[in-house]
Amino acid sequence: MGHYLLRRLLIALPSLLGISLILFVLLALAPGDPFGELASNPNIPPEVREALRVKFGMDDPILIRYFHWLVAMLHGDWGFSFASRIDVDQLILQRIPTTLYVIGTAQLLALIVALPVGVYAAMRPYSMFDQIASTVAFIGFSLPTFFTGLLLILIFSVNLGWLPFVYRADISASGWQWYWEYIKQAIMPIAVLGLFQAASYTRYVRSAVLDVIRLDYVTTARAKGIGERKVIIKHVVRNALIPVVTLVALQMPTVFGGAIVTEQIFRIPGIGSLLISAILANDTPVIMAVTFVFACLVVLFNLLADIIYGWLDPRISYS
């Protein structure tokens, strides 16, 4: 197992290197630079702007700049945000807890909804419950989060005034009031993200359970005289979960990507909105760092999926 992990991590290194190179070149080739807006500022003479460009090495050849970036990053220096005027790694560390809190809770909600609904629907396929669940799930993953997000804001914030529609990191209240505010502002983004995920997970769980439930070993379990509840949990769900777990693990990076939109709608100060504002401001070091973090997450969750798979399925061994 340890040997396998080591090998996988070694394989991951060149792919991360490749990803970072492609990202860097793409960003360098894209039009616009962090000092673009200085050009329209009459108080700053063009020579100053030029000096800044030279100071940050913006006019060096791309490969040399990439090499500088790589060496700096390996030394733990992720660069300096031109827009926020602090170190990029600090900026990311500030933003990541909020994103993890919102996305993690949303994923939890998605699983809490999808597992029982999907299993129950598959136990009675084409029943009224199944039909309704399938239809709702279908609608659920057909509606993009930017639509449902705005809809919820319209209903619960604008019309009813129950929930705040701007997520604030600096809540002024204290004590219990603080926790309540903190939870209240997260309800809508978590619901939007979580239910969207739940919709697709439900359909996936349903089909995975349906695949397993008609197998002979499930009938065998019933023939042994085991109660139906135990048959479903021990023999059906455990086997059906293997593909579902893989799906969830592999979807995590995508969820981070999808959360960008949700973070933007609810103004959540997470890593997604950081990326958006960095793109708008041409803040290349931040864009580079955030996209690279996403790339690491993809590699990490792929590895995690493989490890979980081996743990769940005795037919797979990593020796």
Partner 1 sequence: MSEPLLRVKDLTKAFPIRGGLLQRQVGSIHAVDGVDFQIDAGETLGLVGESGCGKSTTGRCVLRLIEPSSGEVTFDGKNVLALSGDEMRALRRDIQIIFQDPYASLNPRMTVAAIIGEALIIHGLAKTKQQFDERIAELLEIVGLKADHMSRYPHEFSGGQRQRIGIARALAVEPKLIVCDEPVSALDVSIQAQVINLLEDLQQRFAIAYLFIAHDLSVVEHISRRVAVMYLGRIVETAPSRALYAAPKHPYTEALLSAVPIPDPKVKRQRIRLAGEVPSPANPPSGCHFHTRCPIAEARCSQEAPKLKQSADGHWVACHLR
- Any contact of residue 239 with partner 1 (CB under 8 A)? yes
Q: Which residues contact 313 (CB under 8 A, 6 or more apart)?
A: 242
- Any contact of residue 229 with partner 1 (CB under 8 A)? no
Give the interface segment with partner 1, choosing from 91-99, 134-142, 149-157, 222-230 (CB under 8 A): 222-230
Give the interface segment with partner 1, choosing from 30-38, 42-50, 192-200, 220-228 (CB under 8 A): 220-228
Which among 317, 244, 289 has a CA at the least distance from the CA of 84? 289
Which residue among 226, 247, 276, 293 contacts partner 1 (CB under 8 A)?
226
CA distance 284 to 67: 15
Crossing angle between the packed helical segments 145-152 and 176-213, to the nearest 10 degrees: 140
For residues 122 and 209, the answer to whether their CB atoms sit within 8 Å is yes
Instruction: Name the residue nearer to partner 1 (CB basis): 205 or 288.
Output: 205
- Any contact of residue 223 with partner 1 (CB under 8 A)? yes
Give the interface segment with partner 1, choosing from 24-32, 219-227, 251-259, 276-284 (CB under 8 A): 219-227
For residues 20 and 295, the answer to whether their CB atoms sit within 8 Å is yes
Task: State the minimum distance, in angstroms, from the CB of residue 220 to partner 1.
Answer: 5
Site string for partner 1, 286-315 (x = CB under 8 A): --------------------------xxxx
Which residue among 102, 235, 284, 299 contacts partner 1 (CB under 8 A)?
235
Q: Which residues contact 181 (CB under 8 A, 6 or more apart)?
A: 164, 171, 173
Instruction: Name the residue nearer to partner 1 (CB basis): 202 or 239.
Output: 239
Site string for partner 1, 109-138 (x = CB under 8 A): -----------------x------------
Burial annotation 156-173 (CB, 10 A radius, 16+ → b, else e): bbeeeeebbbebeeebee
Dihedral angle computed from the Cα positions of residues 175, 178, 179 and 180, in that order, rounded to the nearest 10 degrees: 120
Instruction: Name the residue nearer to partner 1 (CB basis): 90 or 220.
Output: 220
